[in-house]
């Protein structure tokens, strides 16, 4: 080798070292991880061999299963399984997808990837059921559910697929997250690690229904795209749902009643939509489909993952974690929550949502430093430390934090009462009073100020000033905060109301009000929504047995707002908003009690005056928990944890 070649090699090595050090200076390994696009279809073809199988279940039904095996046979690999109703395309042993596994880290590290069409979907045999009811007692070979299908799949793979190390993991986001949850019940002994991510937990509180209120914009899009009959075997997806306009507010308002929407847009042909319309109450139809009560006898390590701004399955995520924790005290069960929309941890950098910045690439960090090590630890015995009980991102402060429990045991209870002149105070009202607004179903409050056809995922951080300016929205806010506070865990709302109608919806929002500023970059005056939820008042005492409201009678409405970890900065204000419509995110309540609200006629829709009471006997209040400020050795408050770096 000549001197010139040596110099070239040395220069190349030096340049690579400089680039590496530069990346490390900007965040280390996760900065390198941000270039995850190193895996492609060509990479997978080069490194993996594809097989397709019809895997028999105990009742004889065969499930279509695509298996991708590493071509390097000098090692053994764990099985990593995803069961899905959304198709394992592309079909054909010669066709490869553009990615495999939860992230590119897995394909590079080497796993046997298993993707399976669930019963009755695409190329699998059998009858498909939406959120298959779990059967706790199984006496016959025909007593099957998603738990048995997962078990039988793993058993077959262990016997028929070469090159495995005898260990299996499962994961899935949203609906596949439900199948991951079901698979860890009475799990196969080889199933050692499971990650239900944004899993469906109970469809009466997830996705399409929130405390009895119907999430119209979301249900229309999702069911329209995914619930039409597609008799297997087929590799074709149904045609997408159609919209008559990009303005969903206009489209659904002009359609009128829910019955009209069913007839006009679905022609009464969408079976599950029709079943939902026939079951407005939480009867046996819905109860049988809840997986949460059955999350018992869970042996694998469990990592539940969700995003603070998951507009679809936030309920299922927190309740899955809580259910596994309560019914399996010895289980290795942990929670991970980042500042993400539904599934954003798998598909985005996670540095922002809408106008809100989170200061770092939180999703890239999660994929490299949390998710990948979790499976490597339990499926390959890699020496990664165990995750904390809760690894959660603090919004507002833009830091990752870890806790030994969730909600944090050290969190202290606080409350804010709705008070006169639109204020919030820690003290209850001393005198009787109320605030009122007129709720008109013909002019419902929009859920966003943007023109959108469906449920825009950014609505969960939207600026709420558009709503504050409406006369049918009540706003209560604190004085500017003299010091920062961090709210951690769920929030419980207790509204005392009266109405002139016999039914009503009540929407409650927790909002972070930014200080006014002439600097556009400071987002002066922004009212960032932190958490929100709706309660259909007919279900205030029972979701199974709705009852009308009595006009003029003081009535308590209790409502849980799901968990948050949010820092309200010094100078910011805490705001609570109350309203009675949220359209077309939520269908319109006619404000007249009818037995099946979905079949309310046009003449049933009526204007109602809603009062929110604030008196010593009927105090409206929101209860929450705050974290005590950390104290340093010299007695001065410490700064919060450093923002999540791109790498350790």
Give the pLDDT confidence of 522-578 residue by residue, as tens digits.
Answer: 899 999 999 999 999 999 999 999 999 999 999 999 999 999 999 999 999 999 999
Q: Specify which residues 623 forms β-bridges with.
A: 415, 492
Segment 122-132 shows an average pLDDT of: 96
DSSP track, 257-286: SHHHHHHHHHTT--HHHHHHHH--S--HHH
* Residue 118, burial from CB neighbour count under 10 angstroms (0-12, 13-18, 19+): buried
Looking up tokens 């119209």, which residue turns up? Answer: 216
Q: Both tokens of residue 183?
A: 């698979």
Instruction: Return all residues near 149 (Cβ < 8 A) that are at least 6 apart.
Output: 57, 63, 83, 118, 119
Q: Specify which residues 198 forms β-bridges with.
A: none
Are the beta carbons of 601 and 257 closer than 8 angstroms?
yes
CA distance 139 to 159: 25
Q: Both tokens of residue 251?
A: 């489209």
DSSP track, 466-525: HHHTSTTEEEEEPPPPSS-EEEEEEEEEEEEEEESSS--EEEEEEEEEPPP-S-GGGTTT
Q: Which pLDDT value is given to residue 615? A: 97
CA distance 194 to 183: 8
Q: Which pLDDT value is given to residue 37? A: 59
Topology classification of domain 36-202+289-403: Rossmann fold (3.40.50)
H/E run at residue 454: none
Q: Can you tell me whether residue 593 is helix, strand or coil?
A: coil
* Res. 480 pLDDT band, cuts 50 70 90: very high
For 562-594, b where at least 16 C-beta lie within 10 A, e where not — what string? bbbbbbbeeebbbbbbbbbbbbbbbbbbbbbbb
Q: Which pLDDT value is given to residue 630? A: 64
Which residue in 338, 294, 342 sits closest to 319, CA to CA? Answer: 294
CA distance 196 to 102: 12
Which residue in 209, 211, 210, 216 sits closest to 585, CA to CA? Answer: 216
Greater confidence, 317 or 637?
317
Report strand pairing: 164-173 vs 77-84: parallel
Give the range among 32-41, 163-172, 366-375, 605-614 with minimum mean pLDDT.
32-41
CA distance 575 to 528: 10
pLDDT of 617 strictly over 50:
yes
pLDDT, tens digit, 9 for 90 and up, residues 48-59: 999 999 999 999
pLDDT of 640 strictly over 90:
no
Which residue in 171, 191, 155, 204 sits closest to 84, CA to CA? Answer: 171
Count of CB atoms situated within 10 Å of the CB of 182: 29
Provide, for the chain, the percentages of residues in helix, strand and coil under a 3-state DSSP scheme, each rounded to the nearest 5.
25, 25, 45
For 383-413, b where at least 16 C-beta lie within 10 A, e where not — what string? ebeebbbbbbbbbbbbbbbebeebbbeebee
Are the beta carbons of 490 and 563 closer than 8 angstroms?
yes
For the four alpha carbons of 141, 147, 153 and 156, in that order, the dihedral sign comes to negative
pLDDT, tens digit, 9 for 90 and up, residues 238-265: 889 999 999 999 999 999 999 999 999 9
Which residue in 423, 414, 564 sits closest to 480, CA to CA? Answer: 423
Instruction: Return all residues near 522 (Cβ < 8 A) that are at least 6 apart.
Output: 514, 515
Looking up tokens 């410490």, which residue turns up? Answer: 638
Computed over every residue of the chain, the mean pLDDT equals 92
Q: Specify which residues 280 forms β-bridges with.
A: none
CA distance 556 to 492: 13
H/E run at residue 338: strand 333-338
Count of CB atoms situated within 10 Å of the CB of 479: 10
Q: Both tokens of residue 584?
A: 């077309």
CA distance 477 to 287: 38
Q: Specify which residues 82 forms β-bridges with.
A: 115
pLDDT of 17 strictly over 60:
no
Segment 439-444 shows an average pLDDT of: 98
Greater confidence, 24 or 468?
468
pLDDT, tens digit, 9 for 90 and up, residues 60-116: 999 999 999 999 999 999 999 999 999 999 999 999 999 999 999 999 999 999 999
pLDDT, tens digit, 9 for 90 and up, residues 622-639: 999 999 876 443 433 444
Q: Can you tell me whether residue 305 is helix, strand or coil?
A: strand
In angstroms, the Cα distances linking 401 to 130, 198, 404, 523, 638 are: 36, 20, 10, 25, 14
CA distance 76 to 67: 15
In angstroms, the Cα distances linking 67 to 61, 160, 506 are: 19, 11, 49
H/E run at residue 424: strand 423-425
Local structure of residue 624 (DSSP, 8 states): E
CATH number of 412-626: 2.60.120.260
Segment 161-182 shows an average pLDDT of: 98
In angstroms, the Cα distances linking 604 to 26, 377, 584, 590, 594 are: 61, 59, 18, 6, 8
């Amino acid at each position: 080798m000549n001197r010139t070649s040596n110099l070239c090699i040395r220069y190349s090595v030096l340049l690579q070292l400089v680039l590496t050090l530069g990346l490390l200076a900007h965040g280390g390994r996760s900065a390198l991880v941000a270039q995850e696009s190193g895996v492609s279809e060509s990479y997978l073809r080069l490194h993996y061999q594809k097989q397709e199988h019809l895997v028999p279940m105990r009742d004889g039904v065969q499930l279509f299963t695509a298996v991708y095996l590493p071509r390097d046979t000098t090692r053994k690999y764990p099985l990593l399984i995803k069961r899905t109703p959304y198709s394992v395309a592309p079909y054909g042993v010669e066709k490869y997808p553009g990615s495999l596994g939860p992230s590119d880290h897995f394909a590079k590290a080497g796993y046997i990837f298993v993707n399976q069409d669930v019963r009755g979907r695409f190329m699998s045999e059998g009858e498909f059921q939406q959120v298959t009811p779990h059967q706790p007692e199984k006496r016959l070979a025909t007593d099957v559910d998603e738990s048995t299908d997962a078990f039988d799949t793993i058993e077959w793979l262990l016997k028929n697929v070469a090159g495995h190390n005898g260990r299996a993991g499962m994961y899935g986001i949203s609906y596949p997250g439900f199948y991951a949850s079901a698979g860890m019940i009475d799990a196969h002994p080889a199933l050692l690690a499971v990650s239900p991510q944004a899993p469906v937990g109970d469809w009466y509180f997830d996705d399409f229904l929130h405390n009895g209120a119907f999430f119209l914009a979301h249900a229309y899009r999702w069911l329209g795209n995914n619930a039409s009959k597609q008799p297997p075997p087929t590799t074709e997806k149904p045609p997408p749902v159609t919209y008559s306009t990009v303005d969903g507010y206009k489209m659904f308002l002009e359609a009128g009643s829910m019955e009209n929407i069913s007839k006009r847009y679905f022609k009464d042909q969408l079976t599950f939509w029709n079943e939902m319309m026939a079951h407005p109450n939480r009867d046996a139809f819905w109860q049988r489909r809840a997986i949460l009560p059955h999350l018992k006898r869970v042996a694998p390590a469990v990592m539940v993952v969700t995003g603070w701004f998951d507009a679809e399955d936030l309920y299922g995520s927190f309740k899955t974690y809580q259910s596994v924790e309560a019914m399996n005290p010895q289980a290795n069960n942990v929670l991970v929550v980042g500042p993400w929309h539904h599934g954003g941890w798998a598909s985005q950098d996670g540095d922002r949502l809408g106008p809100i910045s989170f200061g770092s690439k939180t999703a890239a960090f999660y994929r490299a430093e949390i998710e990948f090590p979790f499976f490597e630890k339990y499926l390959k015995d890699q020496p990664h430390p165990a995750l904390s009980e809760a690894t959660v991102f603090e919004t507002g402060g833009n830091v990752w934090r870890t806790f030994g429990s969730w909600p944090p045991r050290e969190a202290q209870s606080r409350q804010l009462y709705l008070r006169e002149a639109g204020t919030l105070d820690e003290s209850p009202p001393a005198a009787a009073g109320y605030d009122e607004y007129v709720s008109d179903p013909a002019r419902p409050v929009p859920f966003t100020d943007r023109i959108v056809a469906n449920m825009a995922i950014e609505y969960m951080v939207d600026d709420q000033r558009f709503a504050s300016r409406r006369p049918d929205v009540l706003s209560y806010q604190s004085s500017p905060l003299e010091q920062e506070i961090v709210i951690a865990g769920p929030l419980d709302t207790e509204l005392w109301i009266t109405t002139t109608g016999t039914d009503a919806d009540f929407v409650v929002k927790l909002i972070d009000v930014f200080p006014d500023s002439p600097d556009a970059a400071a987002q002066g005056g922004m009212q960032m929504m932190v958490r929100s939820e709706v309660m259909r008042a007919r279900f205030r005492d029972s979701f199974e047995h709705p009852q009308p409201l009595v006009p003029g009678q003081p009535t308590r409405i209790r409502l849980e707002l799901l968990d948050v970890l949010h820092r309200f900065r010094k100078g910011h204000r805490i705001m609570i908003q109350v309203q009675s419509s949220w359209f077309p995110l939520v269908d319109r309540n006619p404000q007249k009690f009818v037995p099946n609200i979905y079949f309310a006629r046009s003449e049933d829709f009526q204007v109602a005056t809603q009062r929110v009471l604030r008196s010593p006997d009927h105090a409206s209040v929101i209860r929450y928990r705050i974290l005590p400020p950390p104290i340093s050795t010299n007695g001065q408050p410490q700064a919060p944890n450093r923002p999540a770096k791109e790498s350790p």
